[in-house]
């Protein structure tokens, strides 16, 4: 009986027991802060890369009213107001029926009427901010707008760059808690291509 009382009063090894209980929680908290911090960094990097890509592309050649240039994103000829019309030169595209209905999409590595070279250059610009973005994550949409006029010689589209399909893969937390990949939302940024130049771009 005396030995039992002595054992119950004995506190040797209590620190080891407490550490054994607390250490996994501290480990999860520490790696959680690091991993979620990295996930938020990737989120903001992808968002920034999308905006930078749209801005970069809006100052390059998007579409042309006559013969396309080799460094344009969309190489098929497009009328000034996106639709063929018999309107008098100088007529604003806002007065041309169907000007906003035109739409073209370029995705991945280009192809078709979409320039593979321009899409590759766009990806390089975006990867400078978010290296984990691949061609499969990038999508560009050109849309008709009411800006410009008949006889301008170049259409003024809206350019939207979208980044989709990105995931963040947990490393430590996946091993500790079994957390699978975290799916990021899609990002989109739209600019008007009004700043596009007649030369090879700026």
pLDDT, mean of residues 98-116? 86
pLDDT, mean of residues 32-41? 83
Q: Is the pLDDT of residue 18 over 90?
A: no
Candidate ranges 13-27, 91-105, 119-133, 170-184; pick with highest mean pLDDT: 119-133
Find out whether 64 and 196 touch, Cβ atoms under 8 Å: no
Q: Rounded to a whole number, what is the largest CA-CA distance in the chain?
A: 110
pLDDT per residue as tens digits for the range 170-196: 777 665 677 778 888 999 999 998 666
Name the token pair of 56: 């970069």
The pLDDT of residue 176 is 64
pLDDT, mean of residues 22-44? 81
Domain spans in the chain, listed from the N-terminal domain onward: 2-195
Q: Is the pLDDT of residue 10 over 60?
A: no
DSSP 21-86: HHHHHHHHHHHHHHHHHHHHHHHHHHHHHHHHHHHHHHTS----SSSPPTT-SB-S---TTSS---
């Amino acid at each position: 009986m005396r030995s039992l009382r002595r054992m119950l009063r004995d506190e040797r090894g209590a620190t080891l027991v407490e550490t054994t209980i607390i250490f996994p929680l501290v480990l999860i908290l520490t790696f959680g802060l690091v991993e979620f911090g990295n996930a938020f960094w990737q989120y903001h990097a992808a968002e920034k890369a999308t905006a930078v890509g749209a801005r970069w592309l809006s100052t390059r050649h998007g579409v042309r009213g006559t013969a396309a240039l080799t460094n344009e994103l969309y190489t098929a000829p497009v009328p000034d107001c996106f639709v063929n019309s018999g309107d008098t030169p100088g007529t604003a595209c806002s007065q041309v029926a169907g000007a906003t209905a035109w739409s073209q999409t370029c995705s991945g590595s280009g192809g078709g009427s979409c320039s593979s070279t321009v899409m590759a250059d766009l990806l390089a610009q975006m990867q400078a901010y978010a290296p984990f973005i691949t061609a499969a994550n990038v999508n560009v949409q050109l849309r008709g707008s009411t800006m410009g006029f008949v006889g301008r010689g170049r259409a003024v589209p809206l350019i939207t760059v979208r980044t989709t399909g990105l995931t963040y893969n947990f490393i430590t937390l996946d091993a500790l808690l079994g957390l699978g990949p975290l799916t990021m939302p899609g990002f989109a940024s739209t600019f008007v291509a009004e700043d596009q130049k007649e030369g090879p771009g700026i």
